[in-house]
Structure 1
């Protein structure tokens, strides 16, 4: 679904919340951002989203609710499909030129499970444009962290994902 900013501003509160939940599954964030309408431009919407996310991320249950909206990357067959499908991407996308190695995909699947087991939530990263190897490197770099550090890291990555999804929703990307 793609909306203009005017269309988004004119949605009912419930419709706006439901629409925002497709960008981030934190009900608190969606409710507050929907209530902050109307927005004069997309930048104002993104700035409000950032400010609300800063408040919401102070509550761990709200963070976990947002993280739960992501599928866990842990199935090797799914990972193979995800990264092999990037071969069909536009020629300018560097990640599309690299085929994901089976060993990398298996390590990524294991790392994702290790992360979930250690922290109690899935590995959240802004994956756009990243190869399987880059994702694995990021995962391995973050795995030694403590839970509070990872909650903060995941919250930052969640916000990047949310911003991109809002922009796509409004036909900006």
Structure 2
């Protein structure tokens, strides 16, 4: 989709578009309502500002739009609009050993029990072993610190998705 096409979507279609990037209602409403965007910088700046006003409940809502690392199909029915993108983002998990995938699944369970939400990491470019190491390192974090780390990872994911979904070549 081009930025011009995004700018001309009706409000419900714009919400659906932004939901592919982040499932926080506050964030996607802000993004849909702040159109039109004149360029990539304005879109990303608005994404940053919109995320900066989000709070814990907004973060948790955004986290619900993700499948567990290594378990891309777990939320496919609920969040079909993000599953394809998540599969690509988690491609490092697709070549992992069974032992690493089992450790990721077990670590995710421990993480979710400790923090109340799934492990959020910007998985693009990371191997399953790297993600497992990050998960294990973050298990010792204080819950308030971990929420901020997870929120920052969510925002990285959101920005990557925005950049993948918009065809910038047509902007001049």
TM class, shorter-chain normalised? 0.7 to 0.9
1:91 matched to which residue of 2? none
SS at match of 1:125: coil
Match of 2:46 among 30, 45, 48: 48
1:172 Cα deviation from its structure 2 partner: 4.9
1:60 matched to which residue of 2? 56
1:167 matched to which residue of 2? 163
1:171 Cα deviation from its structure 2 partner: 2.9
Aligned mates of 2:26, 2:116 — CA distance in 1: 21
Q: State how 1:119-138 maps to structure 2 within 5 Å.
A: 119-138=115-134
**Measured at CA, do residues 74 and 8 of structure 1 come closer, stay the same or move farther in structure 2, by a change above 3 Å?**
closer
Matched, 1:37 2:35: yes
Q: State how 1:85-124 maps to structure 2 within 5 Å.
A: 99-124=95-120
Give the TM-score taking structure 2 as reference length: 0.82
1:51 Cα deviation from its structure 2 partner: 0.9
2:3 matched to which residue of 1? 5
Is the CA contact 1:116–1:122 (under 8 Å) kept in the aligned structure 2? Answer: yes
What is the aligned-residue RMSD (CA, Å)? Answer: 2.6
1:24 matched to which residue of 2? 22
Number of residues paired by the alignment?
156
Is the CA contact 1:20–1:30 (under 8 Å) kept in the aligned structure 2? Answer: yes
- Max radius of gyration: which structure? 1
2:13 matched to which residue of 1? 15
Give the TM-score taking structure 1 as reference length: 0.81
